[in-house]
Amino acid sequence: MSDLLERLRERGWRLTAQRRVVAEVLDGDHVHLTADEVHARAIERLPEISRATVYNTLGEMVTIGEVIEVATDGRAKRYDPNAHRPHQHLVCFRCGTVRDVHPHGDPLAALPPAERFGFTVSAAEVTYRGLCPDCS
């Protein structure tokens, strides 16, 4: 988190109260908030922060690779601060809860050359779906 802010600064970015709050709100494990959820929590600490700033700041964090954008449901994008090590996501059908998971093996390896159609394939995102314990 202050780690994140430090990296922002190294990029010559100005450290503002707004950016600090967004980074703090997003900190933690298994955090997958939407932009509006981030905004709502940020307002508790900094009442005058605007939606546009939250969107801008999240976008900047995604650009430098400190935060990952996750589209689990075709609705609002979610923001995942766990960009340190590669992982995938497990989503509940009913309540939408998201967990980070670590499958073994490289998902890219399962795609044979003949199925790549000349693409230079460089990433694979896996979304596992099921019912969480609370929703069973």
Closest CA to 62 of 22, 89, 98: 22
Among 11, 74, 84, 85, binds a copy of itself (CB under 8 A): 74
Decide: is 72 part of the binding site for DNA (CB under 7 A).
no
On the CB side of 39, how many CA atoms lie within 13 Å of its CA?
13
Q: Is 135 labelled as part of a ligand binding site?
A: yes
Q: Residue 32 and residue 18: Cα distance in Å, rounded?
A: 19
Instruction: Please say which residue, 47 or 118, places its beta carbon nearer to a copy of itself.
Output: 118
Q: Choose from a copy of itself, DNA, none: what does 57 bind? Cβ within 5-8 Å by kind.
A: DNA
Decide: is 19 part of the binding site for DNA (CB under 7 A).
yes
Among 24, 34, 83, 100, binds DNA (CB under 7 A): 34
Q: Is 2 labelled as part of a ligand binding site?
A: no
List phi, psi (to 5°) of 108: -60, -30
Q: Residue 43 and residue 6: Cα distance in Å, rounded?
A: 23
Q: Residue 77 and residue 69: Cα distance in Å, rounded?
A: 6
Chain residues in the site for a copy of itself (CB under 8 A): 69, 71, 73-74, 77, 90, 92, 99, 101-105, 107-108, 110-112, 115-133, 136
